[in-house]
Structure 1
């Protein structure tokens, strides 16, 4: 099992991708949107902390923070994650996924809440070489 973790850095405005598999991927299962995780899960130094902000499953359905559980459901949405109405009052039934990470999730979006001593730019530059 593997997850693609997107790490957004609010200081620089850049995003970095990291594939997480094996034991570290298992540590992510059961976490929810809003949980803070250690940077060691995605091979960052231990002084980094990441907050889970969302994700998508293998079919592209987004995780919605107000939907409990891991199941995929079709909800009547008037806005927010999964639907952007084109006009006021528009509602539409869309498929979305719950806020808990399961084995069906493919991509996990995170944002750095606690930066480490080494900038992310240098960490990912070293790994590319």
Structure 2
């Protein structure tokens, strides 16, 4: 693992519909390696303390998207029938497309995340 690892993290806010991009490098970036799509991480890892983030996807150096149904940090050609990575033109159409697995590795360039809000009823109880 190199110390020059860096990620661009796109943080989406579902309440406002806005997104912001944060660049993370060095020790903070190394802490993200190994997390998977669907994992909830602390916002302090990306410089946003006090919030929780759910990883929703990402893309590699060549622009290949991460797929939640492919395990591991591998990449390759997989037979796909729907997004992400392939949008069929006809019903039942399938194609082989180059995509990544669901685990963050050093080869990932962009990580997509969404802010997770806890229900107000649970917070006040």
Is the aligned partner of 1:18 residue 2:22? yes
Output the CA distance in 2 between the equivalents of 1:87 and 1:17.
35
- Cα deviation code 1:63-121 (max 9, x no counterpart): 00000011111011111211010111111110110000000000000000038xxxxxx
CA distance in 2, matches of 1:61, 1:80: 12
Return the alpha-carbon distance in structure 2 between the equivalents of residues 97 and 44 of structure 1. 27
Unaligned residue ranges in structure 1 (runs of 5+): 116-129
Query: Partner of 1:119 in structure 2?
Result: none
Aligned positions, number: 114
Q: Is 1:61 the equivalent of 2:78? A: no
TM-score normalised according to structure 1 size = 0.86
What's the counterpart of residue 44 of structure 1? 48
Once superposed, which parts of structure 1, at least 4 consecutive aligned residues long, lie more than 4 Å away?
A: none
Instruction: Render the CA deviation track for 1:31-87: whole Å, top value 9, x for unaligned.
Output: 000000000011112x20000000000110000000001111101111121101011
Show the counterpart of 2:109.
106
TM-score under structure 2 length normalisation: 0.89
Match of 1:76 in 2: 79
Task: Determine helix, strand or coil for the equivalent of 1:24.
Answer: helix
* Distance in 2 (alpha carbons) for counterparts of 1:48 and 1:81: 27
1:35 lines up with 2:35 in the alignment: no
Distance 2:109 2:56 in 1: 14
Matched with 2:123 is none
SS of 2:87 mapped into structure 1: coil
SS of the residue corresponding to residue 27 of structure 1 reads helix
